[in-house]
Amino acid sequence: MNTQSFTFIDLFAGIGGMRIAFERTGGRCLFSSEWDAEAQRTYAANFGEVPKGDITKIPVEEIPDHDVLVAGFPCQAFSIMGDRKGFADTRGTLFFEVERILCAKTPKAFMLENVKQLVNHDHGRTFNVILERLTGLGYHVHWSVLNARDFGIPQKRERVIIVGFLDNLPFSFPIHNGPKLTLSDILEDDNNVPQKYFASEGVRESELSRLKKKPPYPSIWHENKGGNISPNDFACALRANASYNYLLVNGIRRLTPRENLRFMGFPEDFKIVVKDSSIRTQCGNSVVIPVVGAVAKQIAHSITQESVPLNVKMKKLRLTNDQLALI
């Protein structure tokens, strides 16, 4: 890429999806933090370093100065799969750790990622608090909800991306129009998949009995909270704590670890050093790399003073009730 090098830190790093995206854009990672031991193992195997632990225990003096702060702060407090307690949940308050570091280090820019439900949590009040705290630090803030399906990955995964700059730089969110992967590009041949990934006869019969339409092939069968089965030519969002049978390939088997990673855009040489259940959790908590990479490219252009095509109008900072109804 024709961009100048910049530095960044990787907070709530998980297994390094954001790091891969920003390094591909010319960034150099100076610091990473992740408290989960299994995620640390995966991160260390692939990046050669163990992330620092609990960010709440790390003084800002131990965090190096950097150009861009990158953080996918925990989303369970705002997710439809959780209790949606927001800032009443201790995980929700971890946003204020991001604020603490931004205040002390004043990087040129930041990028935050969370679930779409953050936008309308508590009738939009939670999101407005976040936006107001960020602008209160002097940042010019932009946000948008992006879907992985628009960035070449056959997974319906909508996430809110918040970007901010200390200077009022030109910036627009990307619109992907490159090649799109299909399920055939991601799924392995059933004949090459170990038997342990196949569902029992009882599970398969139960899925089939609740099927309402003829499925495409290949397809991912999705079981929703009501117990209904929907076969699609894409995957619904991978989730960290979903039922083992939440997504079934052609209604007969579960995703393999490599398939989980492919749905998140990880490279084929990404090392798997933990058990299958840990990979499922780690992918459910991760980011889709092509989505973050497209945003990282726009950020890099902005902070290196390169022109950015204005292909999306910036949303207003404060949400109105009418705007919330459209999300």
Instruction: Convert the pLDDT of each residue in 212-256 to its tens digit.
Output: 889 999 999 999 888 899 999 999 999 988 888 899 999 999 999
CA–CA separation, 28 and 62 (whole Å): 17
CA–CA separation, 210 and 268 (whole Å): 35
Instruction: Convert the pLDDT of each residue in 11-22 to its tens digit.
Output: 999 999 999 999
pTM of the model: 0.87
Which two structure tokens, joined as six digits, stand for 56?
């709440």
Q: Are 185 and 233 in contact (CB under 8 A)?
A: no
Residue ranges per structural domain of the chain = 6-179+286-320, 183-284
Cβ count within 10 A of residue 321: 8
Strand segments (E) across 66-118? 68-71, 109-115
Q: Are 285 and 308 in contact (CB under 8 A)?
A: no
Which two structure tokens, joined as six digits, stand for 209?
């009995």
Which two structure tokens, joined as six digits, stand for 122?
């508590």
User: What fold, for 183-284?
Assistant: DNA Methylase; Chain A, domain 2 (3.90.120)
Q: Vertex 139, ends 137 and 143: CA angle to 5°?
A: 125
* Kind and range of the H or E run holding 264: none
> What percent of the chain has pLDDT above 70?
86
User: What fold, for 6-179+286-320?
Assistant: Rossmann fold (3.40.50)
Please give, one letter per residue, the 3-state secondary structure of 158-226. EEEEEEEECCCCCCCCCCCCCCCCCHHHHCCCHHHCCHHHECCHHHHHHHHHCECCCCCCCCEEEECCC
Instruction: Convert the pLDDT of each residue in 200-224 to its tens digit.
Output: 999 999 999 999 889 999 999 999 8
Q: Is the pLDDT confidence value at 308 over 90?
A: no
* Kind and range of the H or E run holding 85: none
Q: Is the pLDDT confidence value at 7 over 70?
A: yes
DSSP state of 310: -
Q: Is 151 helix (H, G, I), strand (E, B) or coil?
A: helix
CA–CA separation, 249 and 232 (whole Å): 10
Which two structure tokens, joined as six digits, stand for 189?
């041949």
pLDDT band at 75 (very low <50, low <70, confident <90, very high): low
Residues designated as active site: 75
Mean pLDDT over the full length of the chain: 88
Q: Are 34 and 43 in contact (CB under 8 A)?
A: yes
**What's the Rg (C-alpha) of the chain?**
20
Instruction: Convert the pLDDT of each residue in 28-55 to its tens digit.
Output: 999 999 999 999 999 999 999 999 999 9
Which two structure tokens, joined as six digits, stand for 283?
């992918």
